[in-house]
Structure 1
């Protein structure tokens, strides 16, 4: 990771706006100035202004690199800093691997195939209490095909900090029990659509249900008021062969699921009666 020292004159310029009544605005401007200087020194484009989607796309013979996040995340300075660090480290690691593969291919007199690393964050839920993001990352390192992976990020607006699904649960075992039956049923429903027929349990491991707790869980919302469902993000090979691609299995928040959410977070989730009034998706 590139270490950068910000010059003293820039720090001095950012130390005080000279206007006590405009501290928050001054801080935001100063932070943006400092961030853009650091980005320029690191070879990155300026950070997107608050509330504006960010997208970076670069392509060389070594690496195609893409990174994007939505306006909702760009409005939160801590998330912007998190993503900028991720851009810096992930791009550096990907370039290092690509150079090593290129050199090895050259030594073996074998053609080198350029690598790809593409990460795109999108909004899964934006409610008064939570902003939930999901990322899809595609990685290609010269093999037969690339791979897709997922991550989830939850921002607690009330506490102004990042959290996670695990941190919201009273017990991961109780949560798993609450979602397992609905998850397995809906997963088989999605499998049947892709396979053109019902799933029949047998010797093929891709007919068995999988553990949803080993996958990526992201809260979702249909109306932007409360978290009313949990989506299980499943990458290739986990629930079916590579040709079937990924699976998104969405489970409505039932009273049993609601009961496994810690009390201090329940105000952000739809409960049983509320869920019934909305209808089950």
Structure 2
């Protein structure tokens, strides 16, 4: 009888406590969920959208201007700032020159020819260690023809800073010794192809082998894994007459070239197969 009397009392007690416990449990669960959500939002913000290539183009009565760089550069704040300042400065200088030329032409009674300044950066190598960029700039200031110039930039991803191809060499002299013979032979091959006849040595830069270290050296990669070549970019008038245009001499990395790279950078270069 005692047992039978206790069971209904226990059931009533449980029934009386259940709603309060349910509310407390619901509140606790909601608090935990809110806390986890806040922690997740604070500790792991949503990923930034992928960088987009940059291009600025503007055409006025005085100047046709363009400046562009690829998405790989747009993803690096340092390069965005560097290129932004370079674009603004070069545009301002070119526009000033064009306005002055226009005023001078008007005073002299000559027709004014609008100027042009176009710079475009492209990717030569995008490896785990390096981002190598090359630019081509076309400048026209009203003369018989425009001129094309080149520049390069090497970004060390491991150290998160700008460097240069010469900074990764043991010494420029050692690197020059490692590439000179191959460079001269390939340059003459390209000269002969453009001229339709073998190169005959003379006493001018159009027949002699020029110094590759005075030209633009651009690290390059075919597969995006390691630097497997260095391209020597030679502008008009440096290795041949204007009509021959520019030259690009691609030198695959060999043991001698890799040996002229500082030890701490050699893991970013590979001997081409």
Q: In structure 2, what is the equivalent of residue 9 of structure 1?
A: none
User: CA separation in 2, counterparts of 1:171 and 1:120?
Assistant: 30
Normalised by the length of structure 1, the TM-score is 0.80
Residues 34-183 of structure 1: pairs in structure 2 closer than 5 A:
50-183=50-183
Q: Any conservation in 2 of the 1:50–1:76 contact (CA below 8 Å)?
A: no
Q: Any conservation in 1 of the 2:230–2:250 contact (CA below 8 Å)?
A: yes
Provide Cα deviations, 1:70-96, integer angstroms capped at 9, x if missing partner. 111111111111111111101001001
User: CA separation in 1, counterparts of 2:126 and 2:192?
Assistant: 31
Q: Structure 1: where are the runs of 5+ without partners?
A: 1-18, 29-48
Cα displacement (A) at 1:203: 4.5
Cα displacement (A) at 1:21: 2.4
Normalised by the length of structure 2, the TM-score is 0.82
Cα displacement (A) at 1:166: 1.0
Provide Cα deviations, 1:117-149, integer angstroms capped at 9, x if missing partner. 000000000111001000000000001110000
Whichever of the two has the greater Rg, that structure is 2
Cα displacement (A) at 1:59: 0.6
Q: Counterpart of 1:167 in 2: which secondary structure?
A: helix
User: CA separation in 2, counterparts of 1:217 and 1:20?
Assistant: 45
Q: Structure 2: where are the runs of 5+ without partners?
A: 1-40
Cα displacement (A) at 1:211: 0.5
Q: Any conservation in 1 of the 2:124–2:132 contact (CA below 8 Å)?
A: yes
Q: Counterpart of 2:206 in 1: which secondary structure?
A: helix
Provide Cα deviations, 1:185-222, integer angstroms capped at 9, x if missing partner. 01111111111121111255311110011111010011
Provide Cα deviations, 1:147-171, integer angstroms capped at 9, x if missing partner. 0000000111111111101111110
